[in-house]
């Protein structure tokens, strides 16, 4: 039996309006769960982007305070120069102007990020390569408490620390997202079951006159698909426009402490598309499962 489109659309709309309270609850719960899922993916992208930018860079970066005096910077320069070539292979100084230029290049696609920073907030730094790579942690500890030093980072350490911290946040967020997602699926299933239960006699008559299972199933699956899709679109909007806020939950950039983590619009768009696909599938499959038990009439 062919399934006429007007019939499907009419029945789907009728079901959505008939159970409006449950429909709204399912959409909101779906949106919350998918936003949590999208937030986890956004944070993952932010961490990955930060680590990729620096994992092939210098071995050790000594960040000076943005307000470090010329005497403190000069003293650090002299101390580092005295360690070349014995403990340090090479070292160069990056002043505020150079750091500001680098920052604008890295965040060229994020004008809002550039607006919140300025030249005076940029930390100058010394970027050094130890003579022996295995000594990098010893050198980092040595300079950590020097006057005027904001922080000392080296890529291996920073990447390990950031990934370990993110793993904890990711696990917590995934548990929350999974729990809310189960609630969303339960609401979708319950909404569909209420709709089909109210029409169980009509379904029985349709079966008796030769209606196929798919003829009966499609309007209800489209109802679940609509609920999942609307919730997913809401989640998409939140994750896309609040991407940098979500990324900030993991903390600041592990390599430049005064800079926040960020996610490019392209990466956020791909995450949003994935979230929409998941929402549509969950809604359709959940409603298909709900209908199945009533098709044995």
Per-residue pLDDT of 186-218, as tens digits, reads: 777 777 677 666 666 666 666 666 666 666 677
Give the pLDDT of residue 158. 58
What would the mean pLDDT of 144-170 be, rounded to a whole number? Answer: 74
Task: Kindly calculate the radius of gyration of the chain based on its CA atoms and give it in whole angstroms.
Answer: 28
Residues 6+ apart with CB under 8 A from 15: 195, 219, 220, 223
Structural domain that includes position 148: 60-153
Residue bearing the bigger pLDDT, 196 or 153: 153
- Last residue within a domain, chosen from 153, 179, 210: 153
* Angle in degrees, CA 115, 119, 120, rounded to 5: 110
**Beta strand pairing call for 88-94 and 125-130:** antiparallel
Least confident range from 7-16, 107-116, 148-157: namely 7-16
CA 215/CA 204 separation, integer angstroms = 13
Pair of tokens at residue 110: 């994020």
Identify whether 101 is part of a domain.
yes
Indicate if 216 and 187 belong to the same structural domain: yes
Identify whether 199 is part of a domain.
yes
CA 147/CA 197 separation, integer angstroms = 74
Indicate if 141 and 211 belong to the same structural domain: no
Indicate if 220 and 239 belong to the same structural domain: yes
Give the pLDDT of residue 234. 92
CA 153/CA 256 separation, integer angstroms = 8
Indicate if 71 and 187 belong to the same structural domain: no
- Last residue within a domain, chosen from 131, 153, 175: 153
Identify whether 297 is part of a domain.
no
Indicate if 82 and 145 belong to the same structural domain: yes
CA 90/CA 79 separation, integer angstroms = 13
Identify whether 201 is part of a domain.
yes
Number of compact structural domains in the chain: 2
Pick the most confident of 165-174, 269-278, 285-294. 269-278
Q: How far is CA 192 from the centre of its chain?
A: 31
Which of the four pLDDT bands, split at 50, 70 and 90, describes residue 233?
very high
Q: How far is CA 15 from the centre of its chain?
A: 34
Indicate if 172 and 206 belong to the same structural domain: yes
Residue 183 has pLDDT above 60, yes or no: yes
Q: What ranges in the chain are assigned the alpha helix state H?
A: 5-18, 20-54, 70-82, 96-106, 111-115, 136-144, 155-198, 200-208, 213-241, 243-247, 265-292
HSE-CB of 111 using CA atoms within 13 angstroms: 0
Which of the four pLDDT bands, split at 50, 70 and 90, describes residue 2?
very low
Indicate if 96 and 172 belong to the same structural domain: no
Indicate if 44 and 141 belong to the same structural domain: no
Which residue from 284, 151, 175 is spatially nearest to 226, judged by alpha carbons? Answer: 284
CB atoms within 10 A of CB 10: 12
Indicate if 208 and 267 belong to the same structural domain: yes
Give the pLDDT of residue 57. 46
Give the pLDDT of residue 189. 74
- Last residue within a domain, chosen from 153, 176, 199: 153
Indicate if 42 and 108 belong to the same structural domain: no
Looking at every residue in the chain, the average pLDDT score rounds to 76
Indicate if 14 and 77 belong to the same structural domain: no
What would the mean pLDDT of 55-69 be, rounded to a whole number? Answer: 76
Indicate if 29 and 97 belong to the same structural domain: no
Residue bearing the bigger pLDDT, 111 or 196: 111
Contact yes or no for 94/124 (Cβ under 8 A): yes
Which of the four pLDDT bands, split at 50, 70 and 90, describes residue 133?
low
């Amino acid at each position: 039996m062919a399934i006429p489109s007007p019939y499907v659309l009419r029945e789907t709309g009728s079901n959505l309006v008939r159970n409006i309270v449950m429909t709204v609850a399912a959409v909101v719960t779906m949106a919350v769960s998918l936003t949590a899922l999208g937030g986890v993916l956004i944070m993952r992208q932010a961490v990955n982007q930060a680590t990729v930018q620096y994992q092939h860079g210098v071995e050790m970066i000594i960040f000076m305070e943005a307000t470090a005096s010329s005497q403190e910077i000069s003293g650090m320069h002299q101390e580092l120069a005295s360690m070349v070539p014995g403990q340090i292979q090479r070292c160069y100084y990056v002043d505020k102007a150079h750091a500001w230029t680098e920052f604008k290049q890295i965040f060229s696609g994020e004008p809002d990020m550039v607006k919140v920073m300025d030249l005076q907030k940029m930390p100058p730094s010394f970027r050094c390569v130890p003579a022996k790579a295995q000594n990098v942690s010893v050198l980092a500890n040595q300079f950590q408490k020097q006057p005027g030093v904001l922080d000392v980072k080296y890529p291996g350490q920073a990447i390990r620390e950031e990934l370990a911290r993110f793993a904890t946040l990711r696990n917590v967020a995934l548990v929350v997202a999974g729990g809310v997602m189960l609630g969303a699926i339960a609401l979708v299933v319950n909404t569909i079951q209420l709709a089909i239960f109210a029409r169980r006699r009509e379904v029985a008559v349709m079966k008796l006159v030769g209606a196929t299972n798919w003829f009966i199933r499609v309007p209800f699956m489209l109802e679940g698909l609509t609920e999942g899709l609307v919730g997913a679109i809401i989640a998409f909007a939140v994750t896309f426009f609040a991407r940098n806020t979500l990324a900030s939950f993991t903390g600041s950039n592990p390599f430049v402490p005064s800079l926040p983590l960020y996610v490019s619009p392209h990466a956020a768009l791909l995450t949003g598309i994935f979230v929409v696909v998941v929402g549509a599938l969950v809604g359709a499959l959940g409603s298909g499962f709900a209908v199945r038990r009533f098709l044995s009439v």
